[in-house]
A and B are shown apart, each in its own frame.
Chain A
Amino acid sequence: MNDIEQIENYLSGQLSADELQAFDLRLQNDKAFAEVFAMYKSIESEMHETEDEKELRKTLSGISQKHFDTVTAAKVITLKTNRKRWLLYASAAAASIIILLFLKPWQQKALSNDQLYAQYATVQDLPAVVRGANNDSLLLKATTFYNEAKYTAALVLLDSITMQRPSEAQLQLALGICFLETGKYDSAINRFDKLAVLESVYKYDAVEWKGLAYLKQNKTTDCIAALKLIPADAANYTKAKELIEKLSKK
């Protein structure tokens, strides 16, 4: 038995009583051996990743995506899109003024489901994530299409990307929204359902989007039923509650 084997047998309790005594004696007298023993223990305790640690890392990466925009190689691209984005904001502002004038909310007229959809279906931009993986350029393209609301183009790319990265909830959600925005309601709801049963920060976003998918199809009752599944401690609870109230009034 070499030193490492002895240490492993010792730690896993496989030494006989005699061997155990000899081992302890050697630890006291053989300084070099005692050092190897200490190093072995340090290595195992530092490097072993426990199941709960893995679980935590998973939770954290999900949350992290919301708070860090991990742009690296995409720097140039974001600079370029910034100007466009400004235009987008300006036109969005102009559009909302026009919508506001058109809808005349001060007249308290009930909004149609289409109008409610337009009001509540706010698509969040995907962050320009660029990491070291192979399909990054693909993801970059998909992200650009998506953020420019070119959903048909984004759909094709996201479909193949999510197959390779099934665990990335944010991309799955974006794919569902692409399906929804291009009128593929069953596929959209299917995606949202899958996300809604997983523990991710997008869980209740998915539930909300499922409701919105029904809203877009004019299925008011189904929409309300879906939205009611959002619990009070979810970030989008207030928004969902507001929409339920508006729909119930009709």
Chain B
Amino acid sequence: MPAIHPDNKYIIALLQNDTVLLDELYRNYSGKIKYMVMQNNGTEADAADVFQEAIVDIYRKAKTGFTLSCPMEAFLYLICRNRWLNNITRKKYTNVTFADDEGYSNLVSDDSFANAEQILISQNRKNLIENKLAELGESCRQLLQYNWGGKKLEEIAELMKTSYAYIRKKKGDCIGKLIELIKSSPDYKLLIN
């Protein structure tokens, strides 16, 4: 087991929804991320988005049992950089510098790198699914988004003023279509391994 870094307190804060420590997390690290994103074609709103989603990524990982063995700053920077890099490659921006990330990378421990990599894979999966979801029809998209957002099929049936049996069948059809679309992408293996 790698040694637990004192910054693991932030991971625990995430799991406990501890607003005081999370506020401290923002206060300590949001500046660096803001700088990184804005140096690389982003706005402050982009930075806020990247920062928040990176924290949710880390939270998801934390739920599966993960302890931080390196400074939070370096780990968070790595996750945010990956996220932003992903974003700008999709938008085909050039003129990207990521000036000071070498220094941070050296601080990230091996197992944290592995964790960051898994988070990156998960981000890429999500991107692929979302891209293909956009190609689905409106009704499928809405149904799936309701369902993934936590609504039960019974509730969706009521919302869409139709029967449970119909919604259940429709959901299966929609997922089937989505899988077909994903299969047509060269990256579809991302979802298998």
Contacts and interface: CB of A to CB of B under 8 A. Distances in A.
B2 interface: no
Given A39-B192, A201-B19, A46 B125 contact: yes
Main secondary structure of the interface of B (DSSP, over half): helix
Interface residues on B, range: 35 or more
Interface residues on A, range: 35 or more
A46 B26 contact: no
Interface in B9-67: 14, 17, 19-20, 22-23, 26-27, 30, 34, 43-45, 47-48, 51-52, 55-56, 59-60
B17 A59 contact: yes
A30 interface: no
B48 A68 contact: yes
Contacts of A201: 19, 23
Interface stretch (B87-95, B155-163, B171-179): B171-179
Interface in A44-65: 46-57, 59-64
Contacts of B27: 67
B19 A199 contact: yes
A53 B60 contact: yes
B178 A43 contact: yes
Contact of B175 (A4, A50, A55, A131): A4
A77 interface: no
A71 B44 contact: yes
Contacts, number: 110
Nearest to A199: B19
B182 interface: yes
B45 A68 contact: yes
Contacts of B55: 56, 60
A199 B19 CA distance: 9
Nearest to B174: A4
A210 B78 CA distance: 43
Interface of B: 14, 17, 19-20, 22-23, 26-27, 30, 34, 43-45, 47-48, 51-52, 55-56, 59-60, 122, 125-126, 129, 144, 148-150, 169, 172-173, 175-176, 178-179, 182-183, 188, 191-192
29 contacts: A4-B172, A36-B179, A38-B191, A39-B182, A39-B188, A40-B179, A42-B125, A43-B178, A43-B191, A46-B129, A49-B148, A50-B150, A53-B56, A53-B60, A54-B150, A56-B56, A56-B59, A57-B56, A62-B19, A63-B19, A63-B22, A67-B26, A67-B27, A68-B34, A68-B51, A71-B45, A72-B44, A199-B19, A235-B23
